[in-house]
Structure 1
């Protein structure tokens, strides 16, 4: 990728040739020494230069990389951690990352798998012999060079005798490849933590999925700490070596030297993944919960630098065979254009504690250059889209960025937003019941804070012409009040109008956190005892009607076009946490009267509406683990007709609807579009947006975004990449189930990211990278 306006011509005396990629913390360039030797230079973004805590971490990275430079790791050529804008130069390695290799060609087997295992153990031995703990061993930090695997990126490593630097109270790492002690007590992490990570890495290399993969990064973290690994698909000879590496206690694992001896004794041909009985191979799909990219460099693409940017930076090259031309979609109207996607697994492990915001991904972790994936602008730059979106901008609009402070500034979260009358932006979630911003410049009008600890998936309920509705989570130090309340605020002043306690069973019934909805001028909630619906006038709070749930059931409200539906499951199904039969009923908005029950066999999660029918997806389980979706279900509430279509395979990721098309965005950035009637795949496109939520429809584009604030714009007709932005915040990549983070009003694109970050830009002029 060529240099861009604003890029330096040289760094530290090294002339720059091209930009390799950019992440939330820095940009990586290809440069040359005076003798012509290629080097990769990581230049830290200017706004981090004054952050003393960050400088300490960068100095540690440089020191660690210098200590371990050897045959299996990166060699530091030069560095200036004390410069006004810090930088580090390393040698430049030819070859794909392990993530790219598996994403393109599937799991390794035989002699190739054995060579990888031995090479990584040798690298780990060298790292540990100089007293360094890597702490972020994962597929995107392993480069498959012609000389063998190289371990790169020591951005969160430390000397074994040093205290851990804990950035702003967060545990830094990548959940599927972290050790239990990294999640429980990061200050106690030692060399055998890397051995655990190597064990997970070898399982991934052999099967295409990790031993603790789940539909949520938080559940993955829980399983790393508390559950046994899934090793059924690992070749038996390798499994015998990997299993002790995954012992929950460090002392139960071999050292790197001991592991190397075990691996050298393995047979030359390890075989491939062991198929699971009654289903696909345990590798499942390529869209597993791995917070890294899956890219393959083309002959014209740059090789992978040893110094690498943000983990969400790579945009994998697509398989040309997977793009299926589709009938051009009708341009979407202004507004959000989407229905919130499911959050969490239906009736699954609802009781398990979430490892709160402790699981965060370091923004200096490894990555590679973004590749041009689909004939549009480079996926990873801010190049002008080949087809400019239509619409107008709010009067006086200029690109902006802001952070909204909530009631718990020590535990920031994510917001979700809606627009109103093109000049107001209402957002809520985390420690914020709701806030109003001026759409043209992001300036605040008012903010109502929530005092409690943010709950995953609880965001803004919605807005009417004069009222904004959000959730208030109680302070844990105030046990007298209700834990959750639905709160209505005056849209102009932010004054609280009314509040009512809220139930908390919707996730168990529908697979998403949504116990209240705005329906016309009313707000429909579930009462605190989870026994009935209550409808109130949005502004006055006057109760219009109540509707008790059918006997023996738990219900959640589901909007469907102009109608409101109740989705219900029996008490036994909710208590047993198992998939079963759901029912749907219409609710009369004027009286709360229930219509007749419409039965749906098996688990199903509502995702949106198409042609007057509610669209649901059926989760697919392997044992007790939900691994994706295998069919689409359509329910016509007027006639009671139910129809379903099975997908050609199981698709993992975050589902959503936009402009009559069903999308599933995978954790590694793969977006698949479906016809919701036939279940037919329209097109598939690889993006560089890991853990993308979406879709959000604009005129001529459909948008996907991750917690890092990275946004990809695709053509709804065939998935052509129009443009993509760089990350804008430190966030957790690889998530599933998050509701859409993007709101579109004409050409204005509003994006919510981690740490209550909000930013906006013109869709015709998206942010430039760097």
Structure 2
């Protein structure tokens, strides 16, 4: 919908491109951030700008939206509730509303209905865990994004620990989806009012009608308070779960957590509602005022699988279905700050939903990866192992940090930022020794590597000691924890490879970049003896890249580096004995190394629109034997954090969509919505057929390697943000022990065959 005469050209410094919708409280516009990222900007109607009650409501909306910003809602980017014309900018969510989807395609049924129910309930659970009561759940406040349902519009929400705003006697809400207490005693509304509203949404999704529909809003409100719900057309299995949620007394309703458990126990295919019809004109007008595409601009998006639903179906690409990409997808830009800000869920207890062995894509069970369950015989644990969770103190306790870990038997070595390295017993989490770093942790700079007897890490100089080098590579005796040697290191690899990796370990050799960023230097890991030095080619800056046991120099013209526009990098094989460089192999840039397929190095090509990196649109394989580079264009641009395991490339979106790609053909193998935000990874399990992904908050998702079927996912274990964009894998696996590094130097371990239970 284009802008109209009289619409502003910009709000709060954000240029406006289109009008998304208008409702009773305000108008929502599509805007653009300075980096090119599309944003939804809600502008309060002028007649309410001087209304103190509506200003209070808007402040509440901004505060509530900030409090719950995460994987299932629209994150707040900017706001000014005190402006003469108050406004709020949030992430733009593409996709139709639930109301639009029902109008255009009719009710949900079968597995699609089950996934919608679980996805909405998980969203409500996380909203409540953040201490917020939404109070206005309705079809127009649910957006069906390609990555799953999103709950929006916190205009009349409140924090659970605050008094409800008295609106001079006004009843605020949408009667067909309001709870009895909202209509009778709005000051006493709590989280179980949202459960009631969610149940009315699920009835509406299953039948096209609400359970209390009547000819007028007054009759609807009467039926909500006094009459039983109309559930005759709701599938029987779902009805048994939904009916208790519609109890008149809030104390008789389950909590969102309890409802989620009941929904997960439902069969994979709920069936359809016989004779279900689309409701006629609703008694309450639901005007589209939210941050998504209006119906005439949007292609209906498939409802993504719930984060912990058994064997969810794959998410198709537009290229595979023939469906044009929605306008929102075409407009999307990559937001790449140092940290992708997302509010962590308030409850930090560990939890997991473990799927039954017989679950499959359809009724009656199935085959596929089901036989490769993580409870396979022969899984190994250190003697006396019990799950543990520890915090490793760093050199700067006031600065959040993340470690990365590598296990060798019962010895777990971790390092990063404020910790050069630490040794932890895998069996019980006790620390053997720790070497701290006094400097400020740098994003993406973690442990260099481990050999049989040596741990290599980075040490950052304290800011108040400029005489010391900014960065050093430090070798530490693996057994005793004493420093063996150190050397000044350059810190320019990110500009060349888009990874912070200025030193690598290959076998028992450590290769670093010298402090002047002019050459490679190779040393024996334990003794520090220099074995060779190799200057960079004239006019080029290089960084070390490993592919299995092979070392490459990835180099770029210094002029392109100075312009921060690396278009013509090359790769040269490095002889580990002499340091001599092979012939250059041209690579289409900018590119980031992601791993190996067989013995071939694999890189992803970055797509840029202006200065913004919007995703990955191509893959390059460099053959080990011939040193020839083969470039393949991907079928679409994939936005997210790259990784590689089992010869497959993975890209994980910020809200948990995992896509598996064949590095040889560029073909998509599978796509899976996990619902775990900010994932990085993957890491292969030890013979269990699983891939492990993890977020900075410590949430872990386990997917099968072949099809991406989700086995389980855990709750947060650390109070952290979503983590850096492009983060390296946070999980390491030793036997059946899964070790996870999370925000603020939190490290925890559990047995993959017995993941943490819920609650």
**TM-score for the superposition, normalised by structure 1:** 0.59
1:651 & 1:627 partners in 2: Cα distance?
Answer: 8
Instruction: State the partner residue of 2:307.
Output: 315
User: Paired residue for 1:163?
Assistant: none
Preserved CA contact (<8 Å) 1:703 1:742: yes
Aligned to 2:383: 395
> What is the CA distance between 1:118 and its match in structure 2?
4.4
Q: Which residue of 2 aligns with 1:544?
A: 531
Question: Equivalent residue for 1:529?
Answer: 516
**Higher Cα Rg: structure 1 or 2?**
2
Corresponding residue number in structure 1 for 2:8: none
Checking the alignment, whether the CA contact within 8 Å between 2:352 and 2:758 is kept in structure 1 is no
Rounded to whole Å, the distance in 1 between the matches of 2:626 and 2:441 is: 40
Q: Tell me what 1:427 maps to.
A: 414
- Select the residue among 699, 715, 720 that pairs with 2:709: 720
Quote how far apart the aligned CAs of 1:200 are.
3.5
Deviation at 1:131, TM superposition (A): 7.8
Alignment partners' CA distance in 1, 2:358 and 2:442: 38
- CA 1:611–1:115 in 2, change beyond 3 Å: closer, same or farther? farther
Equivalence for 1:404: 392
Equivalent positions of 1:248-259 (< 5 A) are none
In the TM superposition, 1:171-250 aligns within 5 A as 177-179=76-78, 191-192=82-83, 195-196=86-87, 198-200=88-90, 204=93
d(CA) in 1 for partners of 2:729, 2:256: 28
Task: Classify the secondary structure of the residue corresponding to 1:574.
Answer: helix
1:707 alignment partner, SS class: coil
**Matched residue SS, 2:562:** helix
Match of 1:416 in 2: 404
8 Å contact kept, 2:353–2:714 = no
- Which of the numbers 734, 755, 758 marks the counterpart of 2:744? 755
Summarize deviations over 1:257-281 as a string: whole Å, max 9, x none: xxxxxxxxxxxxxxxxxxxxxxxxx
Task: Please identify, of 370-379 and 434-443, the stretch whose mean Cα deviation from structure 2 is larger.
Answer: 370-379
C-alpha offsets along residues 711-761 of structure 1, whole Å, 9 cap, x if unaligned? 000000101010111010111127420000000111100000001000000
1:67-86 equivalences under 5 Å are none
Deviation at 1:175, TM superposition (A): 11
Mapping for residues 1-16 of structure 1, pairs under 5 Å: none
Equivalent residue for 2:677? 690
Q: Specify the alignment match of 2:756 in structure 1.
A: 767
Q: Is the 8 A contact 1:707 1:753 kept in 2?
A: yes
Contact 1:376 1:721 in 2 (8 A): no
8 Å contact from structure 2 (residues 347, 716) kept in 1: no
Is 2:635 the partner of 1:632? no
Q: How much does 1:697 deviate?
A: 0.4
Q: Structure 2 CA distance, aligned partners of 1:360 and 1:431?
A: 23
Residue 552 of structure 2 corresponds to residue 565 of structure 1 = yes
Aligned 1:80-159 pairs, distance under 5 A = 117-118=26-27, 121=44, 129-130=55-56, 133-134=59-60, 136=62, 141=65
Tell me the equivalent position of 2:719: 730
Whole-angstrom CA distance in 1 between matches of 2:469 and 2:699: 36
Is 1:496 paired with 2:395? no
**For the structure 1 residues 111 and 654, does the alpha-carbon distance in structure 2 shift closer, same or farther, using more than 3 Å as the test?**
closer
Q: Secondary structure at the match of 1:178?
A: strand
Residues 111-164 of structure 1 show CA distances to partners (whole Å, capped at 9, x for unaligned) of: 8666795497479978754487347568xx5xxxxxxxxxxx8679xxxxxxxx
Deviation at 1:315, TM superposition (A): 2.9
Judged with a 3 Å threshold, the aligned counterparts in structure 2 of structure 1 residues 132 and 641 are, in CA distance, closer, same or farther, namely closer
Residue 472 of structure 2 is matched in structure 1 by: 485
Distance in 1 between residues matched to 2:429 and 2:84, nearest whole Å: 44
Equivalent residues of 2:640, 2:652 under 8 A apart: yes
Structure 1 residues not aligned, in runs of 5+ = 1-107, 142-152, 157-173, 181-188, 209-295, 325-347
Change (3 A) 1:507 1:195: farther
Question: Does residue 617 of the first structure (1) align with residue 617 of the second (2)?
Answer: no
Deviations 1:569-616 (A, max 9, x none): 010010011131111001111111111111113321110011221100
Within the candidate set 594, 598, 601, 2:588 is matched to: 601
Per the alignment, residue 22 of structure 1 pairs with none
SS at match of 1:507: helix
Change in 2 beyond 3 A, CA 1:136/1:115: closer
The Cα shift of 1:516 comes to 0.3
| Residues 435-461 of structure 1, C-alpha deviations (whole Å, 9 max, x = no match) | 000000100000000001110000011
CA contact (8 A) 1:669 1:686 kept: yes
Distance in 1 (CA, whole Å) between partners of 2:500 and 2:360 is: 36
Question: Higher relative contact order at CA 8 Å, sep ≥6: structure 1 or structure 2?
Answer: 1
RMSD: 4.1
**After superposition, what is the alpha-carbon deviation per residue over 1:238-264, rounded to whole angstroms, capped at 9, x for unaligned?**
xxxxxxxxxxxxxxxxxxxxxxxxxxx
Distance 1:320 1:127 in 2: 46
Residues 338 and 724 in structure 2, CA contact (< 8 A), matched pair in contact too: no
Question: Relative to 1, partners in 2 of residues 1:323 and 1:419: Cα closer, same or farther, differing over 3 Å?
Answer: farther
Alpha-carbon distance in structure 2 between the residues aligned to 1:395 and 1:636: 42
Shift of 1:373: 11
Per the alignment, do residues 462 and 440 of structure 1 end up closer, same or farther by CA in structure 2, a change over 3 Å counting?
A: same
Q: CA deviation at 1:397?
A: 1.0
Query: Shift of the alpha carbon at 1:109?
Result: 9.3
Assess, with a 3 A threshold, how the Cα gap between structure 1 residues 207 and 546 changes in structure 2: closer, same or farther. Answer: farther
Offset at residue 677 of structure 1 (A): 0.7
Shift of the 558–649 alpha-carbon distance from structure 1 to 2, 3 Å rule, reads same
- In the TM superposition, what whole-angstrom CA distance separates every residue of 1:69-99 from its partner, at most 9, and x where no partner exists? xxxxxxxxxxxxxxxxxxxxxxxxxxxxxxx
Answer yes or no: is the 8 Å Cα contact 1:374–1:685 preserved in 2: no
Mapped to 2, the partners of 1:374 and 1:126 lie a distance apart of 54
SS of equivalent to 1:133: helix
Secondary structure at the aligned position of 2:559 is classed as: helix
Unaligned runs of 5+ in 2: 1-16, 29-41, 98-200, 207-237, 247-252, 258-304, 318-333, 362-369
Residue 114 to residue 429, structure 1, CA distance change in 2 (3 Å): same
Matched residue pairs, number? 500
Q: CA deviation at 1:647?
A: 1.2
- Give the TM-score normalised by structure 2: 0.59
3-state secondary structure, aligned to 2:435: strand
